[in-house]
Chain A
Amino acid sequence: MSADRPVMRSDANMADPDGFYEAWVAAHEGLSDEESNDLDARLVLLLANQVGDPQVLLACIAEAREQGCRRP
Chain B
Amino acid sequence: MPVGARYNGGMSAETWKFAPAYELPHWPFVAPPDLGAGERIRYPVVIAGGGLAGLTLACDLALRGVRAVVLDEDDTVGVKGASSRGICYAQKSLEIFDRLGIYERIRAKGITWSVGRTFSGNDEVYTFNLQDDSASEQPPFINLQQFYLEWFLVDRIRELDTTDLRWKSRVTQVENEADAVVVEVETPAGRYALEADWFIDATGANSRIREAMGLEVNPSRSTDRWCITDVRFNTPFRTERWTWVDAPFNEGRAVWQHLMADDVWRLDYQMAEDCDPEAISRPEVAGARLRAQLGPDVEFEFVWIGPYQYRDHLLETFRVGRTLFIGDSAHVVSPFGARGGNNGIQDAANLGWKLALVLAGEAGDELLDSYHAERHPAAVENLTVCRRTARFLAPRSRAEHRIRRAVCALARRHEFARRLANTGRMSQANAYPPSPWVKAGARSVQNVAFDGTTLMHCLAGGTRFLGLAFGADAATLVRLDELAALFPIDFRRVDAAGPLAAHLGAAAGTVVIVRPDAYVAATMAEATPEAVAAAMRDALGMDERARLAAAA
A residues apposed to B, CB below 8 Å: 37-38, 41-42, 44-46, 49
* Closest A residue by C-beta to B415: A49
Contacts of A45 in B (CB 8 A): 406-407, 410, 417, 420
- Interface residues of B, dominant DSSP: helix
On chain A, the residues within 8 Å of B420 by CB distance are 45
B402 and A38 within 8 A (CB): yes
- Which residues on A sit within 8 Å (CB–CB) of B85? none
Q: Tell me the complex Cα distance, A45–B410, Å.
A: 8
Assembly CA distance A38 to B404 (angstroms): 10
CA distance A44 to B420 in the complex (A): 13
Interface pair A41/B403, CB less than 8 Å apart: yes
Does chain A have a CB within 8 A of B391? no
B416, A42: Cβ atoms closer than 8 Å: no
A53 to chain B, nearest CB (A): 14
Alpha-carbon distance between A46 and B409 when the two chains are bound, in angstroms: 11
Contacts of B403 in A (CB 8 A): 41
Contacts of B416 in A (CB 8 A): 49
Identify the B interface with A (CB < 8 A).
402-403, 405-407, 409-410, 414, 416-417, 420
Docked Cα-Cα span, A37 to B399, in Å, equals: 9
**A37–B407 CA distance with the chains assembled, in angstroms:** 13
Chain B residues, CB < 8 A from A37: 402
Are A41 and B417 neighbours in the complex by a CB distance under 8 Å? Answer: no
Alpha-carbon distance between A55 and B407 when the two chains are bound, in angstroms: 21
The minimal Cβ–Cβ distance linking A28 to chain B, given in whole angstroms, is 15
Alpha-carbon gap, A37 to B402, bound state (A): 8
**In the complex, are the beta carbons of A46 and B402 less than 8 A apart?**
no
The residue on B at minimum CB distance from A49 is: B416
Q: List 10 A-B contacts (CB under 8 A).
A: A38-B402, A38-B406, A38-B409, A42-B410, A44-B406, A45-B407, A45-B417, A45-B420, A49-B414, A49-B417
B410:A46 contact, CB within 8 angstroms: yes
Chain A, Cβ-Cβ closest to B411: A45
A49 CB contacts on chain B under 8 angstroms: 414, 416-417
- Give the most central of A38, A41, A44, A46: most B CB within 10 Å: A41
Closest to A44 in B: B406
**Contact residues in A for B410 (Cβ distance below 8 Å):** 42, 45-46
CB distance from B411 to the nearest CB of A (A): 10
User: Chain A residues near B402 (CB, 8 Å)?
Assistant: 37-38, 41
Distance in Å: Cβ of B58 to nearest Cβ of chain A: 43
Chain A, Cβ-Cβ closest to B404: A41
Alpha-carbon distance between A44 and B409 when the two chains are bound, in angstroms: 13
Expressed in whole angstroms, the minimum distance between the Cβ of A29 and any Cβ of chain B is: 19
Return A15 CB to nearest CB of chain B, in Å: 24
In the complex, A49→B418 CA distance in Å? 12
Residues of A within 8 A of B407 (CB): 45
Closest to B405 in A: A38
Chain B residue nearest to A42 in the complex (CB): B406
Closest-by-CB residue of B relative to A43 is B406
Nearest CB on B from A2, distance (A): 27
Q: A55–B404 Cα gap in the complex (Å)?
A: 22
CB-CB < 8 A to A46: which residues of B? 410, 414
**CA gap between A48 and B381 in the complex, in Å:** 25
Give the shortest distance, in Å, between A25 (CB) and chain B (any CB).
19
B406 partner residues in chain A, CB cutoff 8 A: 38, 41-42, 44-45
* Cα–Cα distance between A46 and B416 once the two chains are bound (Å): 9
The docked-state distance in angstroms from the alpha carbon of A42 to that of B406 is: 5
User: Closest approach, in angstroms, between the C-beta of A72 and any C-beta of chain B?
Assistant: 22
> A41-B406, A42-B406, A46-B410 provided; 5 other pairs, C-beta below 8 A?
A38-B402, A38-B406, A45-B420, A46-B414, A49-B416
B311 to chain A, nearest CB (A): 29
**How many whole Å from B384's CB to the nearest CB in chain A?**
15
A45–B407 alpha-carbon span in the complex (Å): 7
B417 — which chain A residues lie within 8 A by C-beta? 45, 49
State in angstroms the CA–CA spacing of A25 and B152 once bound together: 64
Residues from chain B with Cβ under 8 Å of A38 in the complex: 402, 405-406, 409
Task: Give Cα A41–Cα B498 distance, bound, in whole angstroms.
Answer: 49
Q: How far is the CA of A37 from the CA of B405 in the complex (A)?
A: 11
Q: Closest Cβ of chain A: how far from B422's Cβ, in Å?
A: 14
CB distance from B391 to the nearest CB of A (A): 15
Residues of B within 8 A of A42 (CB): 406, 409-410
6 pairs of A and B residues whose beta carbons are closest in the complex: A41-B406, A49-B416, A42-B406, A41-B402, A45-B406, A41-B403
A46 to B420, CA, bound (A): 12
Docked CA distance A59–B406 (Å): 21
Minimum Cβ distance to chain B for residue A21 (Å): 21
Q: How far is the CB of B246 from chain A (nearest CB, A)?
A: 14
The distance in angstroms between the C-alpha atoms of A38 and B406, with both chains bound, is 6
CB contacts (< 8 Å) of A44 on chain B: these are 406
Q: How far is the CA of A41 from the CA of B409 in the complex (A)?
A: 10
Once the chains are docked, how many angstroms separate the CA of A9 from the CA of B416?
24
Q: Which of A38, A45, A46 has the largest count of B CB atoms less than 10 A from its CB? A: A45
Q: Shortest CB–CB separation between residue B302 and chain A, in angstroms?
A: 39
Give chain A nearest CB distance to B378 CB in angstroms: 22
Question: In the bound complex, what is the Cα–Cα distance between A37 and B403 (angstroms)?
Answer: 9
Q: Smallest CB–CB gap between A57 and chain B, Å?
A: 12
B91 CB → nearest A CB, Å = 28
A37–B404 Cα gap in the complex (Å)?
Answer: 12
Complex CA–CA separation, A45 to B416 (angstroms):
9
